[in-house]
Amino acid sequence: MRKALEGSQAIAQTVALCRPQVVAAYPITPQTHIVENIAKLVADGKMQCELVSVESEFSAASLVLGAACAGSRTYTASASQGILLMSEVLYNIAGLRVPMVMTCANRAISAPLSIWNDQQDSMAVRDAGWIQLYCADNQEAVDTTIQAYRIAEKTELPVMVCVDGFTLTHTLEPIDLPEQEMVDNYLPKFNFKRVLDPANPISIGTLVTPDFYSEVRHTHHHALLNALAEIEQANLDWQKVSGRSAGGLLSVDGPENAHIGILTIGSIYGTLSEARDESNDLPATKLIKLRAYRPFPAKALRHACAGLTDLIVLERALSPGFGGIISSEVQAELASMKKIPRVHSFAVGLGGRDIPLSIFRTLHQKINVTDPQPFSIIDVELEKLPAEDFGIDEVNHA
Amino acid sequence: MIEIRIHGRGGQGNVVAAYLLATTAINEGWHAQAFPAFGAERRGAPVIAFVRINHQPIKRRCQVESPDFLIIQDEALMNISGITDGLKSDGCILLNSAKSCEQYAAEHHAGNINHVLNKNLITLPATQLAQQYLGRPVPNTALLSAFLSLTGILTHDALIQSFKERFSGNVLDKNIDLINAAEHTIPANLWKTTANA
pLDDT at B111: 47
Full strand arrangement of the beta sheet holding A22-25 = A50-53, A22-25, A74-78, A101-106, A159-164, A131-134, A292-294
Interface residues from chain B to A (CB-CB < 8 Å): 15, 18-19, 22-23, 26-27, 31-36, 38, 41, 58-63, 65, 162, 165
Q: Is the pLDDT of residue B41 over 70?
A: no
Are B26 and A171 a contacting pair at CB < 8 A?
no
Q: What are phi and psi of A188, to 5 degrees?
A: -65, 160
Predicted local confidence at residue B114, as pLDDT: 53
Give Cβ neighbours of residue A240 (< 8 Å, ≥ 6 apart).
none
In chain A, what percentage of residues exceed pLDDT 90?
95
Q: Which residues contact B33 (CB under 8 A, 6 or more apart)?
A: A171, A172, A173, B22, B50, B51, B52, B58, B61
Query: What are the pLDDT digits (tens) for B46-63?
Result: 889 999 999 999 999 999
How much is the pLDDT for A393?
A: 62
Q: Do A97 and A156 contact (CB within 8 A), yes or no?
A: yes
Domain count, chain B: 1
Are the C-beta atoms of A293 and A341 separated by less than 8 Å?
no
Percent of chain B with pLDDT over 70: 93
> For residue A4, which residues of chain B lie inside 8 Å, CB to CB?
19, 22-23, 26-27, 32, 162, 165
Q: Within a 10 A sphere around the Cβ of A210, how many other Cβ atoms?
A: 6
- What is the reported pLDDT for B93? 94
Non-local CB neighbours of A329 within 8 Å, separated by 6+ positions = A296
> Which of the residues A163, A164, A171 would you substitute to probe the B interface, choosing the one with the greatest number of B C-beta atoms within 10 Å?
A171
What whole-number distance in Å separates Cα of residue B33 and Cα of residue B56?
12
Nearest to B60 among A6, A172, A270 (CB): A270
The reported pLDDT for the residue numbered B146 is: 97
When scoring B60, B64, B165 by the number of chain A Cβ atoms within 10 A, the one with the most, hence best to mutate, is B60
The letter for the amino acid at B46 is P
Least confident range from A182-186, B39-43, B53-57: namely B39-43
Over residues A120-167, the pLDDT tens digits come to 999 999 999 999 999 999 999 999 999 999 999 999 999 999 999 999
Q: Stretch B148-165: mean pLDDT, rounded?
A: 97
- Among A28, A106, A167, A172, which would you mutate to test the B interface (most chain B Cβ atoms within 10 Å of its Cβ)? A172
Q: Check residue B44 and give its pLDDT.
A: 76
- pLDDT of amino acid B119: 64
Q: What integer best gives the mean pLDDT of chain B?
A: 91
The pLDDT of residue A373: 87
Predicted pLDDT at A398: 42
**DSSP summary character for residue A307:** T
What is the rounded CA–CA span in Å between residue A334 and residue A238?
30
| pLDDT score of B2 | 97
Confidence of residue B118 (pLDDT cuts 50, 70, 90): low
Q: Output phi, psi for A40, to 5 deg.
A: -70, -40
Range of the structural domain that residue B174 is part of: 2-196
Residue B150, domain CATH: 3.40.920.10
Instruction: Give the HSE-up count for residue A216: Cα atoms under 13 Å, Cβ half-sphere.
Output: 16
Is the model's pLDDT at A264 over the cut of 90? yes
The model's pTM is 0.96
pLDDT digits (tens, 9 = 90+) for A78-89: 999 999 999 999
**Spatial distance between the Cα atoms of B7 and B74, rounded to a whole number of angstroms:** 8
CB atoms closer than 10 angstroms to residue A283: 14
Q: What is the pLDDT of residues A16-42, one digit of tens each?
A: 999 999 999 999 999 999 999 999 999
Band of pLDDT at residue B40, cut at 50, 70 and 90: low
pLDDT at A397: 47
* Residues B23-34: tens digit of each pLDDT: 999 999 999 999
Residue B76: which residues within 8 A CB-CB, separation 6 or more? none
Extract the runs of DSSP E, i.e. beta strands, from chain B.
Answer: 2-9, 31-37, 46-54, 69-72, 92-96, 121-124
pLDDT at B117 over 60: no
Please list, in sequence order, all residues whose beta carbon lies within 8 angstroms of the beta carbon of residue A134, skipping any fewer than 6 positions away.
A119, A162, A265, A266, A290, A291, A293
Confidence band of B66 (pLDDT split at 50, 70, 90): very high
Dist CA B65 CA B52 (whole Å) = 12
Q: Which residues pair with A24 in a beta bridge?
A: A52
Residue A261's nearest CA partner among A225, A239, A289, A241 is A289
- Band (B10; pLDDT cuts 50, 70, 90): confident
Residue B130 has pLDDT above 90, yes or no: yes
pLDDT of B45 higher than 90:
no
Predicted local confidence at residue B109, as pLDDT: 59
ipTM for this prediction: 0.94
Query: Is residue B81 a contact partner of residue B110, using CB atoms and an 8 Å limit?
Result: no
- In this complex, the residue of A4, A29, A271 whose CB is nearest that of residue B62 is A271
Residue A294 has pLDDT above 80, yes or no: yes
A72/A16 Cα distance (integer angstroms): 14
Cα-Cα-Cα-Cα torsion A364, B1, B13, A108, nearest 10 degrees, comes to -20
Mean pLDDT of chain A: 96
Domains of chain A: 2-242 (3.40.50.970), 255-397 (3.40.50.920)
Predicted pLDDT at B81: 83
